[in-house]
Structure 1
């Protein structure tokens, strides 16, 4: 690892002092980049992951082009399920689609367990390559049990998750078995990424905001506690992400996780009111990336001002970058966050005004 390694992101995750606010973007590798589009002319989405040199290049691109403070492994949350023999395809404009949605515990019983070193050696090789290539931390990731279950039960993306929640209500024993299976798989997958060199891991629970606080506490939190408790035994920092899940933040705050994500529906005042004590990341509305530059900068500055005196803040989007965003917009935003916060940290203001 480079002696010039930039660990500002890791320090912010641990709520330690940082010289400026670190920034990275959800889905910071993708179709908005010309280089990525060129690579996709030769490799399908899943094929990229199977070629470590190519996957490492795609993962590095945002660091090299945008100047962000962390890289996130390029992969898909379906990768471990596909490696277990489940038939899933990424349909352009739709998302992951399963040919046989599960309807009972019997549909899960025949799944083979995941052995990351045997089933996903190319992912671990990519992590190992990036560990030596990057001068910023690498975030490994996996899908969280509820979100994976939602795709498995719905057969693909959903607007309401009625089938998923109906399964949870009508088949509580099968649901518990499914959560046990997916949490064990997710944990093994993340531990393998950490062992290969990932300094942080993020759980994407993108659609868990569809459930109530009571249902989360009863039917989902036990699995998340198991995962984060075991990850806590490693040196990696942990992050938890969902969208539209502000009502679950008090439950998340009880989990042994380092960083909580929040989106534009939740404000800094909401975090204070809810007594959220962990480090946080968010929450710029990604739609602002298409707004006039002066408005984007003003909204980013307002957000940064709200967190300038709070330890443990990482600038990010409330959801992911989408294809219409211009690369130069993201680069300018990352530069602005770095410059503005390095000049406006409390200690910098004291120095500038001659205070001791």
Structure 2
């Protein structure tokens, strides 16, 4: 007897808005979700963490905990997607770097890459399916528990952003050591970026096979590079990821899923990102939607880009900001989101206003059109 397909294993999807929008198909309303929609701003997340006396990576490595945390915002808000609760730094971990995230201290590495000779400390061959099995088990469990309510995102950090963490130990642009590597040690930098690319491809493929219905690549430090270094060291690997993920899925007879690229602050690269092999280009809040659409053209879907700080607004002002954003983006080939993640002290009620306003205004705009 043939093995069951994913479609047979998982409940049928009830809300496919975000997948249709990603593919450029017409939608009756704009789908909406938020980066970091599960996490510290939700009282239930903090209560769950205290109840289980769990560290961040304790939770990430527990499929049952991940499932519970991933579903928490879906119980509060009428979101059009879930995103698996995980972290981009699982990739450096499987390459042999100890990483922890501590309250009040942030990211803690057991060592950083000080010079090219230290690339020898990294594992060059990684069985991603084995090493990150907990991520894939969490995705499968969450897909089952979602019951087809909405699609589930998988994700990974991009090669440059992960390289930045592995050398600087932080995402701060004030720490330029990783960028200095690109200039002083281009061959070693390329070796590291290629290693990361290979692992990222395997990680995304495994997430899709486990049940992720759409995936996002986070290049959160892209803008730090500027046009020259970005086009030399970051963009080629982003393109390679998009191409190789689909190639490997086809080889394994798995249907490809939509892919999103988020290159924060890389306004200089929007046109190139729109032609990099991703269905969706996600935008931070510092670019005008109309300008981004002119650069990206009409062939891709755009995602974004409300300033996360606007979630501190009054209800009246927040609705106004959302309405203005919708008018600038339009209602088609568009996924509403924040321009970065939800900030930890945002009121959950304001997140609800954001989500509900996207739906309300987009339905009104579609009715007029």
In the alignment, the residues of structure 1 paired with residue 303 and residue 316 of structure 2 have an alpha-carbon distance, to the nearest angstrom, of: 23
Give per-residue Cα distances to partners, 1:278-333, cap 9 Å, x unaligned. Answer: 11111100111001111110010011112225x31000000110121111111122
2:18 is equivalent to residue 9 of structure 1? yes
Name 2:218's counterpart in structure 1: 204
Name 2:266's counterpart in structure 1: 245
Please say which of residues 271-280 and 123-132 is displaced more in the overlay: 271-280
Give per-residue Cα distances to partners, 1:45-85, cap 9 Å, x unaligned. Answer: 00011211111010111122111101111011111322333
When normalised by structure 1's length, the TM-score is: 0.93
Name 2:278's counterpart in structure 1: 257
Name 1:30's counterpart in structure 2: 39
Name 1:69's counterpart in structure 2: 80
Residue ranges of structure 1 left out of the alignment (5+ in a row):
351-356
1:225 positional shift: 1.3
In the alignment, the residues of structure 2 paired with residue 3 and residue 198 of structure 1 have an alpha-carbon distance, to the nearest angstrom, of: 14
Q: Is the Cα contact below 8 Å between 1:71 and 1:137 reproduced in 2? A: yes
Name 1:146's counterpart in structure 2: 160
Give per-residue Cα distances to partners, 1:151-195, cap 9 Å, x unaligned. Answer: 111122323341111100000100110111000111111111011
Name 1:300's counterpart in structure 2: 322
Name 2:290's counterpart in structure 1: 269
In the alignment, the residues of structure 1 paired with residue 68 and residue 11 of structure 2 have an alpha-carbon distance, to the nearest angstrom, of: 18
Q: Is the Cα contact below 8 Å between 2:81 and 2:152 reproduced in 1? A: yes
In the alignment, the residues of structure 1 paired with residue 96 and residue 296 of structure 2 have an alpha-carbon distance, to the nearest angstrom, of: 43
2:347 is equivalent to residue 326 of structure 1? yes
Q: Secondary structure at the match of 2:216?
A: strand
1:4 positional shift: 5.0
Name 2:5's counterpart in structure 1: none
Residue ranges of structure 2 left out of the alignment (5+ in a row):
1-9, 250-255
In the alignment, the residues of structure 2 paired with residue 159 and residue 12 of structure 1 have an alpha-carbon distance, to the nearest angstrom, of: 33
In the alignment, the residues of structure 1 paired with residue 239 and residue 227 of structure 2 have an alpha-carbon distance, to the nearest angstrom, of: 15
In the alignment, the residues of structure 1 paired with residue 282 and residue 175 of structure 2 have an alpha-carbon distance, to the nearest angstrom, of: 21
Please say which of residues 115-124 and 84-93 is displaced more in the overlay: 84-93
Cα RMSD (Å)? 1.6
In the alignment, the residues of structure 2 paired with residue 166 and residue 149 of structure 1 have an alpha-carbon distance, to the nearest angstrom, of: 12
In the alignment, the residues of structure 2 paired with residue 4 and residue 145 of structure 1 have an alpha-carbon distance, to the nearest angstrom, of: 32
Name 1:354's counterpart in structure 2: none
Q: Secondary structure at the match of 1:240?
A: strand
Name 2:201's counterpart in structure 1: 187
Aligned residues: 347
Change beyond 3 A, Cα 1:4–1:100:
closer
When normalised by structure 2's length, the TM-score is: 0.90
In the alignment, the residues of structure 2 paired with residue 303 and residue 286 of structure 1 have an alpha-carbon distance, to the nearest angstrom, of: 13
In the alignment, the residues of structure 2 paired with residue 180 and residue 318 of structure 1 have an alpha-carbon distance, to the nearest angstrom, of: 28
2:192 to 169, 178, 181: 178
Name 1:119's counterpart in structure 2: 131
2:48 is equivalent to residue 39 of structure 1? yes
Please say which of residues 163-172 and 269-278 is displaced more in the overlay: 269-278
1:275 positional shift: 4.1
Q: Secondary structure at the match of 2:336?
A: strand
In the alignment, the residues of structure 2 paired with residue 35 and residue 130 of structure 1 have an alpha-carbon distance, to the nearest angstrom, of: 18
1:103 positional shift: 2.6
